């Protein structure tokens, strides 16, 4: 996709999501989600899992994306999730958006059946209904994107997620976005290196924001991480976690790719 057509990707996703969520509420009322067996499951802390590892990687299941079209349509999700688990991931991110990323809530459910690691529901969350879905399908943590939410909605969704026992990964793209976030809304702060207007990736975003985020929060660098040396540098700057999708998913066996990557992080 060209930079021009990507200019308003978050706006386009948000417009689509509003319609999608309204339809889903008609088909499956919120009260029924609360009856799902996993709804009462005790969650696992993504923050703790990342912090206890030398390099806490949240490895992502990602078939395709607006910036890359097809990344890997040939691997089975259970193989990816089991491979990531065996390789030493600190957590797993599952993209559940269908239209733009080719994911689904069924992917999250399958992932839950394949690992005890904390699972992040990677979704464009605008409505508390999506939090109920996340819990019902096995998530331990959810993503809130500062660029998509006003401060009041962000604070409200964060509180609701915590009441359901899930942690909040709050994603920011700039210092301005971070400063505008309500305090206390995040358990983990994700600094996204991908500019969602141009799709360009620059680790300078993580470098610039590192010192602005207090070390009481788990700092996660997201997107465009392809080299173990990048992780070593960002760890020195204070990052506890690293969200990585394409680098592993573009390989025939993403789990083996993560295993090799982690070996090189420590050498």
Ligand X SMILES: O=C(O)c1ccccc1NCC(=O)[C@H](O)[C@H](O)COP(=O)(O)O
Q: Choose between 33 and 105: whose C-beta lies nearer to ligand X.
A: 105
Site string for ligand X, 24-63 (x = CB under 6 A): ------------------------------------x-x-
Quote the CA–CA distance of 171 and 144 in Å, as a whole number.
6
**What distance lies between CA 106 and its chain's CA centroid?**
16
Residue range at the interface with ligand X (CB under 6 A); choices 75-83, 112-120, 178-186, 243-251: 243-251
Question: Per CB under 6 A, does 245 bind ligand X?
Answer: yes
Show which residues are catalytic.
60, 62, 122, 171, 192, 222-223
Site string for ligand X, 118-147 (x = CB under 6 A): ------------------------------
Question: Per CB under 6 A, does 66 bind ligand X?
Answer: yes
- Min CB(97)–ligand X separation in Å: 9
Residue range at the interface with ligand X (CB under 6 A); choices 47-55, 179-187, 219-227, 232-240: 219-227
Between β-strands 91-95 and 56-61, what pairing exists: parallel, antiparallel or unpaired?
A: parallel
């Amino acid at each position: 996709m060209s930079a021009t057509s990507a200019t308003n990707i978050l706006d386009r996703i948000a417009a689509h999501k509003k319609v999608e969520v309204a339809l889903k509420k008609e088909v499956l009322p919120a009260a029924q989600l609360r009856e799902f067996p996993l709804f009462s499951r005790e969650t696992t802390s993504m923050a703790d899992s990342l912090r206890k590892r030398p390099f806490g990687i949240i490895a992502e299941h990602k078939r395709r994306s607006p910036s890359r079209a097809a990344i890997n349509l040939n691997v089975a999700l259970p193989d990816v999730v089991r491979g990531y688990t065996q390789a030493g991931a600190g957590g797993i991110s599952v993209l559940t958006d269908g239209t733009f990323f080719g994911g689904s809530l069924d992917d999250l459910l399958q992932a839950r059946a394949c690992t005890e690691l904390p699972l992040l529901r990677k979704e464009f969350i605008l409505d508390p209904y999506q939090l109920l879905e996340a819990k019902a399908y096995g998530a331990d943590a959810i993503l809130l994107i500062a660029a998509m939410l006003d401060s009041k909605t962000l604070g409200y969704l964060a509180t609701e997620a915590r009441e359901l026992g899930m942690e909040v990964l709050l994603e920011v793209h700039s210092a301005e976005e971070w400063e505008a976030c309500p305090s206390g809304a995040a358990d983990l702060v994700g600094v996204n290196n991908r500019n969602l207007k141009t799709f360009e990736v620059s680790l300078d975003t993580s470098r610039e924001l590192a010192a602005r985020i207090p070390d009481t929060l788990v700092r996660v660098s997201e997107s465009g991480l392809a080299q173990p040396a990048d992780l070593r540098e960002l760890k020195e700057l204070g990052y506890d976690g690293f969200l990585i999708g394409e680098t592993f998913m573009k390989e025939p066996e993403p789990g083996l790719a993560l295993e090799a990557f982690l070996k090189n992080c420590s050498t």
